[in-house]
Structure 1
Amino acid sequence: MKTGRGLAAIGSALLGMAALLVAPSATAAPATAESPDPNLTVKSVTLGRSTVLVSGLNRVAVGVTVKASYKSGTETPLNVFFKRTGGVGPLQHMIAGELKRTGGTLNDGTWTGTVDVPSTANGTFKVYGVLPGYMLPGDMTTETPVDGPSIAVTGVHLPKLAVQVIPRVVPFGSAYQVKAVIYDSATGKPYGVRLPLQVVNDNLCVEYDAIPRYTDTAGVLITTFPAAAADSLNCVRVRGRYFDTIARFFFPLRPGIVAATPSKTSVPVSTLVPVNGSVAGAPYRCPVLLQRLHGRTAWRLANQSTVRQSGRFTVVAQPPNLGNNSYRVYFPTCDRFQAGYSRTFAIQGTR
């Protein structure tokens, strides 16, 4: 288990969204496995509701109660983790974060709080773990396993994100833009109000909260990034308190820029000739293919290798014919790097 500082909370309730409907119920279940934290024993987890209907970008606060013993002697909040067990909503996990002790003692206490359920949960979620402490996003955490209660979520008018990078393939050294559009997936139309989005990169995608900017009433927000940002994780997020309502994570596409130079340009026929080169952006372990020209237009595979961590590579040519043998290095599309060719070069075969 790791603990850290608390999350900065950003409110996610949005005015003008559709109403919600709930059905009362409560279920509880004991822990089913020994806690990774020997100080923590979970006795039960109870939810205030077993079903909820939520629309648009609303979130419904559902009560969560944990009865537990935490024998460390230090006051600490508890975090309750949910995972999807059914349904087809885009959200896969939920968190009831930093529940406070509201009754009893640390050795025999009651911790209470809420999980803010969004429409994107649409489906069934089950409590599977409890973790003491203050969560730091990006930490590797080990929860105490719990065979907990479930909640059935009916989401309607779910939000959907469309993300466009401009230009689609970002040149090295160039600034670029991210166009984000959020709309009602049921109608295909915007919600008609300005909505807060985080369009950020690098650590802000996984670790910290940023101040959101607002879309226009058509749900559109265009953000300009400097050139260096294209080499880090980019994301568009509708933030909740402890997890995103909806998000898109991506690396901008990069061109395949290949350079290749033979170590010798004239050798006896069938001599092995190292061809050294590089691929811009250093796409580690991506393939590079040495091709030799047959006839006027047919390029055939002659040798292949992979890009080293430095971005460089070496392939080996073996000119079979007297006179000029034409070669090029082909880099096929790999991850976010697009296909590209080196300039054609010749190795002369001699007797």
Structure 2
Amino acid sequence: MKRLLAALLAAPLAAAVLTAAPASAADPDLTIKAVQIDRTAVAVAGLNTVPVTITVTGSITGGDPSRTTTPLYADLKRSGAVPANINWVVSDPLAMIAGNETDAVWRGKVNVPSTANGTLKITGLNIGTYNPASGTNTPATPVDGPAIQVTGVHQPQFGSISTPSIAKAGTAVTIRWQVMDSETRRPYGTKLRVIVADDNGCVERVGTAGTVLTDVNGVIMNKTISDDAIHCLLVPGSQAPIGGLTILLRHPGVVTAVPSKTSAPVGTIVPVNGVVKVAPLYCPVNLQRLYGATAWRTVGTVKTDSRKRYTLKAQPAYKGKIPYRVQFPTCSNYVTAVSPTFWITGT
């Protein structure tokens, strides 16, 4: 077995061997000695991928002895050139091909997509197979691994149009998704396999399960109910998706405003209370006063509290009837709204 291991390590590779960083306390069972790749540069077009072989030497110690036959998978982080749709890539399972728990060799591939355009560096190794839904694969053992220079051309560009564009929660919405070539600004001209999902289905995808076909223009229609969940179109990869778009559906904001007094001496502070009936917590609200016939100007700003309530302070500047309103500016996926106009008379 030692001779087999020595022969594997001596085999010529296109990439330099880079020694991995020591295993972290987060995953004490895995120690990485070295990481190799068989090429340091790839060119990838469109929705294709190019395989790069990864070879890892190291050991798994402690725990259940059966884990010594468990595969690894690699995390690769992207940086550098633009455009790009993703910042990380996950390898296929790296199977143990030689050795034992104290001196092992794992080998497998990473399918590099065009969306990884730039520098793709191996930064972590995990015991097991990629399964984002389980939560059992993190944190990874960090490594200072080799890098792949990726030239991605004709990368996919994603778009979405929701109809209606602003919808109350619980009402029907249709989302038109489209995938196009980012360089030609035209469809790829063939039906594409994609995943249309929402909520956990957007962040727990592995492989191609659940794919559907677009039309030849890269378009697919999705009927859904307006809510606060994320909605997504993903291009599947052999492990993690290789690109996609995530959106939040937009809802109308609703804000109320009631002054504590309808008249007060000039210069007196008059509390204005209200509630933002929908939207996240701690969103800003603006007290606005009418100047002239049409110019609403902000004269005070606060954030809502944990109950979505607020108190603003009006201060009549002159004698007479002064128009006020409260504006809720767009916050997250809730769009700008204003309260009915109210008046405070300065006396």
Aligned to 1:14: none
Number of residue-to-residue matches in the alignment: 325
- In structure 1, which of residues 4, 26, 31 is the aligned counterpart of residue 20 of structure 2? 31
Describe the shift of the 1:88–1:320 C-alpha distance in structure 2 as closer, same or farther (beyond 3 A).
Answer: closer
Query: 1:81 Cα deviation (Å)?
Result: 1.7
CA distance in 1, matches of 2:290, 2:183: 53
On the 8 A contact 2:286/2:326 being kept in 1, the answer is: yes
Question: Larger deviation: 206-215 or 242-251?
Answer: 206-215
The one-letter code sitting in structure 2 at the alignment partner of 1:311 is: K
Q: Which runs of 5+ in 2 are unaligned?
A: 1-12
Identity of aligned residues (%): 42
The one-letter code sitting in structure 2 at the alignment partner of 1:226 is: I
Is 1:60 the counterpart of 2:59 in the alignment? no
TM alignment of 1:152-163, pairs within 5 A: 152-163=149-160
Describe the shift of the 1:89–1:319 C-alpha distance in structure 2 as closer, same or farther (beyond 3 A).
Answer: closer
On the 8 A contact 1:120/1:159 being kept in 2, the answer is: yes
- In structure 2, which of residues 112, 120, 128 is the aligned counterpart of residue 117 of structure 1? 112
Aligned to 2:81: 87
TM alignment of 1:167-178, pairs within 5 A: 167-178=164-175
The one-letter code sitting in structure 2 at the alignment partner of 1:35 is: S
Q: What secondary structure does 1:204 align onto?
A: helix
- In structure 2, which of residues 293, 298, 314 is the aligned counterpart of residue 317 of structure 1? 314
Aligned to 2:213: 214
On the 8 A contact 1:163/1:180 being kept in 2, the answer is: yes
Larger RCO, structures 1/2 (Cα 8 Å, 6+ apart) = 1
Aligned to 1:226: 225
State the TM-score, normalized to the length of structure 2.
0.84
Q: What secondary structure does 1:259 align onto?
A: coil
Query: 1:57 Cα deviation (Å)?
Result: 1.3
- In structure 1, which of residues 96, 102, 108 is the aligned counterpart of residue 97 of structure 2? 102
Describe the shift of the 1:294–1:85 C-alpha distance in structure 2 as closer, same or farther (beyond 3 A).
Answer: closer
Q: What secondary structure does 1:242 align onto?
A: coil
Cα deviation code 1:190-232 (max 9, x no counterpart): 222211222221111112456122101111111111123xx11
Query: 1:98 Cα deviation (Å)?
Result: 3.0
Describe the shift of the 1:117–1:297 C-alpha distance in structure 2 as closer, same or farther (beyond 3 A).
Answer: closer
CA distance in 2, matches of 1:41, 1:118: 29
On the 8 A contact 2:282/2:308 being kept in 1, the answer is: no
CA distance in 2, matches of 1:320, 1:122: 59
State the TM-score, normalized to the length of structure 1.
0.83
CA distance in 2, matches of 1:82, 1:302: 50
On the 8 A contact 2:205/2:241 being kept in 1, the answer is: no
Q: What secondary structure does 1:258 align onto?
A: coil
The one-letter code sitting in structure 1 at the alignment partner of 2:72 is: L
CA distance in 1, matches of 2:52, 2:217: 31
Q: What secondary structure does 1:120 align onto?
A: helix
